[in-house]
Amino acid sequence: MKRMVEAPQRLELFQGTLDLLILRTLRWGSMHGYGIVKFIEQSSQEAFHVDHGSLYPALQRLQQEGWISAEWGTSTTKRRAKFYRLTAAGRRQLAVEQSRWKRFTAAVAYVLQPRQAAAEEE
Partner 1 sequence: MSLQRLLARLRNLSKRAQIDEELGEEIDAHMEMEQAEQVVAGHTPDRARAEALRAFGNVTLSREDAQAVWRFQWIETLWQDARHGARTLRRNLGFTAVAVATLALGIGATTSIFSVVDTILLRPLPYKDSQKLIAVYSTYPRFQGMRLAVSMRDWSEMRSNTHSFEQAAFFFEEQMDLVGVTEPEKVWTYQVSPGLFQLLGQQPALGRFFLPQEEDPGQGQGQVGVLSWKFWQADFGGNRGVLGQTLALDGTEYTIVGVSAHGFDLPGASGEYSTQVWLPIQRSTGSAMNAHFTGTLAGGMLARLTPSASVHDANVELQTIGDALAREYPENDKNWSLQAMSVQDQVVGDQRTPLLVLLGAVGLLLLIACANVASLVLSRGLKRESEFAVRTALGASRSRVVRQLVTESLVLALLGGTVGVLLAIGGVLAFRSFAPPNLPRLEEIRPDFAVLWMAMGIVLFAGAISGLAPVLQLGRPDVITAVKQGGAGRSTMRSGLRGAVVVVEVGLALALTIGSLLLMRSLSNLTNQPTGMRIDHVLTMNLQLPQSRYPDRQHGEAFVRQIIENIRALPGVESAAAADINVLGGGDNLASRVRVEGNPDTAQGVGNIALSDVTPGFFGLLGISLLEGRTFTQQDASGAPAVAMINRKMADTFWGKRDPVGTRVSFDTDAKGRPIWLTVVGVVADTRDSSLETPPKPEIYAPLLQQTVFPSIALMIRTHAGALAILPAVKQQIWKADKEGPITDVETLEGVVTQDVAEPRFRTRLLGVFAALGLVLAAVGIYGVVSYAVAQRTREIGIRIALGAQTSSVIALVLRYGMTLVGTGILLGAALALGLSRLMAGVLFGVGPLDGWAFLASSLVLASIGFAACYIPARRAMRVDPLIALRYE
- Which residue ranges make up the site for partner 1 (CB under 8 A)? 1, 3-4, 32-34, 37, 51-57, 59-61, 64-66, 75, 77, 79-82
CB of 39 to partner 1, least distance (A): 13
Nearer to partner 1 (CB atom), residue 8 or residue 119: 8
CB of 65 to partner 1, least distance (A): 7
Nearer to partner 1 (CB atom), residue 14 or residue 56: 56
Q: What are phi and psi of 36, to 5 degrees?
A: -60, -45
Between CA 107 and CA 86 the distance in angstroms is 29
CB of 101 to partner 1, least distance (A): 22
Task: Give Cα 41 distance to the centre of its chain.
Answer: 10
CB of 118 to partner 1, least distance (A): 39
Between CA 75 and CA 66 the distance in angstroms is 24
Which three-class secondary structure string do you get for 54-82? Answer: HHHHHHHHHHHHCCEEEEEEECCCCCEEE
Nearer to partner 1 (CB atom), residue 52 or residue 102: 52
CB-CB contact of 96 with 16 (8 Å):
no
Nearer to partner 1 (CB atom), residue 15 or residue 113: 15
